[in-house]
Amino acid sequence: MFARRAAAAAALLLRLASAADVFAHFMVQNAYAYDVNQWKTDMGAAQQIGIDGFSLNWIPPDCQAGLDWTVDRIDDAFTAAESMNFKLMYSFDMSYSTCNVYWNQTFMADMISKYAGNPATYRWNSNILVSTYGGDQVEQYGNAFFAGLKSSMAYSNNAITLAPALTTYSLAAQSDASSSAGKLISDYSSIDGYMNWQAWPLNTGSNMSCTADQAFQSALKSSGKTGPYIMSVSPWQYKDLNDGNPLDTWVAYSDNLFASRFQELTSDAVNPDIIELLTWNDFCESHYLRDLPSQTDTSAKDYVELGEMGAYVWGQNHAPWRIIAKYYIHWWKTGSPPPITMDQVVFWHRIHPKASTCSGGSSQPVRNAQYTDDAVFAWALVSDKSTISMSIGSNQYWTFEADASGPAMGMVPFPSDLGDGAVPTVAIMRNGQAIHTASSSQKVQGYCTYQNFNPVVNLVGPGINSGA
């Protein structure tokens, strides 16, 4: 991978002409307890790993009852972001197919203009960058709606650059990338850029490729669009609505997804204008990078009510995944891998085998469960030659080698007999001695009270692990 440094450096020169910014998708719905200080805390934790801004996902405040607070939280977010030198853009969530009141151009224009003078407003060249989640599946929206919004913003001298995430095109691109990208351009003349939401393998046990990313980016370029290509990167996906509908419970093959998708960004295979991490705080889809929020302290400023979905979130810390993000973000932004100064191994695992029958949660087979591996996975970043040793139950001392040339990955499978539960342990060995050892915060059990395909993430050695 070091042979690619020259290409990365050349790419860097190109990027400096535009941007090399990293956003994280932020669910405003999970910020109802936030005050300005809580926003600052989250923004500081994001900045610590090289995230430049949040893409604020929100649904129309009058779509459902009880969302009146949303605009106030967004006010606080801009106040905090301005003082933190952090950026914000909107991701208008247009995926709700039933709303009391849908998004309308007047309200959107007012909310975009409201912060046009705030330095936290993220701009693409001189325009305000606006994104969405959806806009292609609900009849109230579509190309004409976007065109109307753009012309009213231009008329009020707050021109926008529109880079929506039109999910049908991103899904279709997983099987036929170039025709889906071509169709996007012909169906949506109003768009300037594109956010490709599909960061996970789609109903397959194969690793993801960048084919769709390349197709969208080149379609934008060849049609003369001047907006950014936004590539999404995500560590995982698992959701269980537990409503009896087998379509509403799924996992994506994510065992090695995070590092391998980031690794693509260090090659010359793909070079997006912006990276968007999915996500900062979408707990119920199991791809949160943020620390776990407060579960029981209802007066905490990050308190979130997760309801039944909390059954697969509480206790499943993800914070050490931010170490992986930090390493690759630095590499992508500078064009060369950062020096490795610490000894760290991030490791993650599910807490029951995929074949377990659990007493709670969806009883149907989870869609795509067959693609997951019953194993503990590790990503090692060490400053000197080391042997990483992994154990769980009777599978003792599975090892792999790592050194300062870059990250290394390894795994140990769950043993067939888990007994009363087995706690994975991982050690960093150097010169025959364990220099750091850690056990997982959770054991793996054959028995489960709630079906859970959301992994717990752990850390060996020093570094970010604030959610444990």
Ligand X SMILES: *[C@@H]1O[C@H](CO)[C@@H](O)[C@H](O)[C@H]1NC(C)=O
Chain residues binding ligand X by CB under 6 A are 60-62, 101, 104, 107, 205-207, 256, 260
Backbone angles phi, psi at 412, to 5 degrees: -135, 130
| Closer residue to ligand X (CB): 168 or 209 | 209
DSSP H or E stretch at residue 93:
strand 87-93
| Closer residue to ligand X (CB): 61 or 393 | 61
Name the pairing type of β-strands 53-58 and 87-93: parallel
Name the pairing type of β-strands 123-124 and 127-133: antiparallel
Beta strands in 108-183, from DSSP E residues, in sequence order: 123-124, 127-133, 160-163
| Closer residue to ligand X (CB): 241 or 369 | 369
How far the first Cα of the chain sits from its last, in Å, is: 33
Q: How far is the CB of 106 from ligand X (least distance, A)?
A: 6
Distance CA 452, CA 433 (A): 35
| Closer residue to ligand X (CB): 178 or 256 | 256
Q: How far is the CB of 264 from ligand X (least distance, A)?
A: 10
DSSP H or E stretch at residue 232:
strand 229-233
Beta strands in 125-223, from DSSP E residues, in sequence order: 127-133, 160-163, 194-196
Q: How far is the CB of 142 from ligand X (least distance, A)?
A: 17
Q: How far is the CB of 245 from ligand X (least distance, A)?
A: 28
Q: How far is the CB of 316 from ligand X (least distance, A)?
A: 22
Please say whether the beta carbons of 206 and 243 come within 8 A: no
| Closer residue to ligand X (CB): 47 or 263 | 263
Q: How far is the CB of 38 from ligand X (least distance, A)?
A: 24
Distance CA 445, CA 373 (A): 15
In three-state secondary structure terms, 246 is helix
- The one-character DSSP state at 38 is H
Distance CA 402, CA 399 (A): 10
196 strand-pairing partners: 231
| Closer residue to ligand X (CB): 122 or 262 | 262
- The one-character DSSP state at 2 is G
Helices 36-47 and 70-84, axial angle in degrees (round to 10): 50
Q: How far is the CB of 179 from ligand X (least distance, A)?
A: 25
| Closer residue to ligand X (CB): 92 or 216 | 92
Name the pairing type of β-strands 274-277 and 229-233: parallel
Q: Give every strand in the sheet of 386-392, ordered side by side.
A: 395-402, 386-392, 425-430, 433-439
Q: How far is the CB of 3 from ligand X (least distance, A)?
A: 18
Please say whether the beta carbons of 356 and 446 come within 8 A: yes
Q: How far is the CB of 204 from ligand X (least distance, A)?
A: 9
| Closer residue to ligand X (CB): 62 or 187 | 62
CA neighbor of 261 nearest in space, from 241, 247, 278: 278
| Closer residue to ligand X (CB): 31 or 309 | 31
Q: How far is the CB of 211 from ligand X (least distance, A)?
A: 15
Name the pairing type of β-strands 229-233 and 194-196: parallel
| Closer residue to ligand X (CB): 108 or 177 | 108
| Closer residue to ligand X (CB): 29 or 41 | 29
Hey, what are 293's tokens? 């929020």
What's the one-letter identity of residue 190?
Answer: S
Residue 460 has a CB neighbour count (10 Å cut-off) of: 27
Q: How far is the CB of 197 from ligand X (least distance, A)?
A: 21
Q: Which string of DSSP letters, residue by residue, matches 248-269? A: GEEE---TTHHHHHHHHHTSSS
| Closer residue to ligand X (CB): 64 or 437 | 64
Distance CA 183, CA 154 (A): 26
Q: How far is the CB of 108 from ligand X (least distance, A)?
A: 8
